[in-house]
A and B are shown apart, each in its own frame.
Chain A
Amino acid sequence: MNVTDRESSKGLRAVAVVHLRGEVSDARHTKVLEALTRLLPRVGVEGRGTFACDLRGTGRLLGPPERVGARIVATLERVHIAAAIGIAPGPFTARVIAERAPTGEVARLREGEERAFLAVLPLSTLPIDEEHREELALLGIRNVGAFAVLGRGAVLDRFGRAVAAAHALACGEDAGEVHGAPPRRRILARRSWDAAITEREQLLFALKSALDEVSGELERDGLSALRLEARLEREDAPPLRIERLVLPPAANGSALLRSMRWALEERPYGEELGRVIGVRVEATEVEPSRGRQIGLFAADGASEEEAIAVARYLRSRLGPGGVVRAHVSGPDARLAEREAEWEEVVS
């Protein structure tokens, strides 16, 4: 067992940051995240096209960090994705190295080398806002090394907590952790029909089973759909794509179906649905389900969310002032119009 193997097996901190080169599309970002998650136990997203991988405890199984880095580069090259890898004890330094490393290379900093590496870099490398950076420049501080020699207490007193945190990074004290961000599981359902559907109501009936399947998947994961997308395959026309924002986010099949119904009803008058022979429904954006008022003391308290969702929909159709709620402000007012006030249910 060499030195690096021992480091990893002892649980010493090592973070590999993968920095993609070139333009990073949504699909490419997701693809890389999925590939990294298959390779390593904890992968976080630092930014678009930048991923942090925690290498603690992986030495015995995967070898030293450099070998892991080389393996990542090779895996990505196989799918024609160019990247550079930076390895350091903390995610910030690893990211700085990765951004500066040549494409296809693995660069590594060992424990204790961070401060010297960062010292020559410009101050803009650190997460300091423009205003404070200009103030530091007026004091003659233009690189990380000059900033690191300042007293921590003085920095905190003068510039506040955020700049003091940047000062700690400048001193090589990168205490950041990798927060795992597993790739989202795609929640979708497909249906196809031998006989084409031409009526809206029939289509909604047929959609129900697909939406029930999506609903089941969402409920199993404790999620609610925030955005729903349906792609209707048509015999006599190009596919029709419908995207809905579900408010409030819901996992319930009937709420999803209602949203789809509204989408179909909102289509311009006279526009034919066409001959629909298949559908793919996907919850493209989800969020953890929140608790609902179950109405222990008010039998229908849970329905209020639904009512507000309807109010929001109607307001979007009728415009401002179309959906209102009244409250009595002065029952004894002399003028009738001063007795009550109207307010928007949703604004």
Chain B
Amino acid sequence: MAAATALADAIARLDVRFGSRTVVTATNAADRARQRRFLTGTSFDRLSGGIEPGSAFAFVGEGTCGKVTLALRAVAGVQRDGAMTLWVDGARSFDPLAAQRAGVDLRRVVVVRARSGDEVRLAAGAGLRSEGFRLVVIDLGPSFAQVASIDALAPVLPQVRGSTSALAVVADVPAMRLAIPTFTFERVTWESRHGRTVGWSFAVRRSDAADREQALLQAI
């Protein structure tokens, strides 16, 4: 009985010091985490379980295999709750028209044109530390690969934990030294209509998963 009283007292003190609901039961915490996740509205959600704020992941694969397409879908998913997104565009590959077609509200995407690894880290760090964004996307596409790789983002990753934002990194090559959940993209087939190429199908799978479960998507 005394232990229960002491525990309640300690929880009350923590609530006063750090805000209400600082201490919650594990079940409640899991429920809240599930509610905060956002979905891309594609079969990728089954594979990933949704994107959770405070998490980091990478989309990796060769050029034109759907990484940016899926990242744009993720942005659209975040925006369904009215949130803002920060797109750190090292590769200068952000295409407003493609974004609009993916359902992105362009007014709620802030695009940062970074020119160096330092600028990428600065922008990503500022976005993750603020409470203004729910998703920070870093595009290290082929034109930026010589400037910075996923490994160069090591100083940014500690800031993801506890952030209200998730971090998505889009790159051609996977990290060599950094442990970051990675989704590998692979183009399956080109889609054509009336003899013209209109898009492609691609497969996504978790690099660290033992099984071969994958999501199949289309970019038209």
Contacts and interface: CB of A to CB of B under 8 A. Distances in A.
Contacts of A305: 132
B112 A322 contact: yes
Interface in A20-77: none
B110 A323 contact: yes
Interface string B60-96: 0000000000000000000001111010000000111
Nearest to A209: B17
B110 A345 contact: yes
A261 B129 CA distance: 10
A158 to B, nearest CB: 51
A311 B119 contact: no
Contact of A324 (B111, B119, B126, B132): B111
Contact of A327 (B82, B96, B122, B129): B96
Given A310-B132, A326-B99, A303 B84 contact: yes
Nearest to B88: A314
Contacts of B113: 318, 321-324
A291 B22 CA distance: 26
Nearest to A326: B96
Contact of A310 (B109, B133, B134): B133
Contacts of A304: 84, 108, 132
A317 B127 CA distance: 14
Nearest to B107: A325
A300 B109 CA distance: 14
A300 B107 contact: no
Contacts of B114: 318, 322
A325 B109 contact: yes
Interface string B102-142: 00001111111110000100110011011111100000000
Interface residues of A, number: 36
Chain B interface SS verdict (over half): mixed
A328 to B, nearest CB: 5
A177 interface: no
A295 B81 CA distance: 10
B132 A327 contact: no
A83 B114 CA distance: 58
Interface residues on B, range: 20 to 34
A254 interface: yes
A300 B53 CA distance: 13
A339 B110 CA distance: 18
A326 B94 CA distance: 9
A263 B23 CA distance: 32
A134 B99 CA distance: 62
A326 B129 CA distance: 24
Interface string A280-312: 000000000000000101111101111111110
A308 to B, nearest CB: 7
A304 B84 CA distance: 7
A313 B107 CA distance: 19
Interface in A200-227: none
B100 interface: yes
A298 B82 contact: yes
Contacts of A295: 82
A139 to B, nearest CB: 57
14 contacts: A304-B108, A307-B84, A307-B110, A309-B130, A310-B126, A310-B130, A310-B132, A314-B126, A318-B113, A318-B123, A322-B114, A324-B110, A326-B111, A328-B97
5 interchain residue pairs of minimum CB distance: A298-B82, A306-B132, A307-B132, A340-B96, A326-B96
Given A310-B132, A321-B113, 18 more contacts: A258-B130, A298-B82, A299-B81, A300-B83, A300-B134, A303-B83, A303-B132, A304-B108, A307-B84, A310-B86, A313-B126, A318-B119, A322-B114, A325-B106, A326-B99, A327-B107, A331-B97, A340-B97
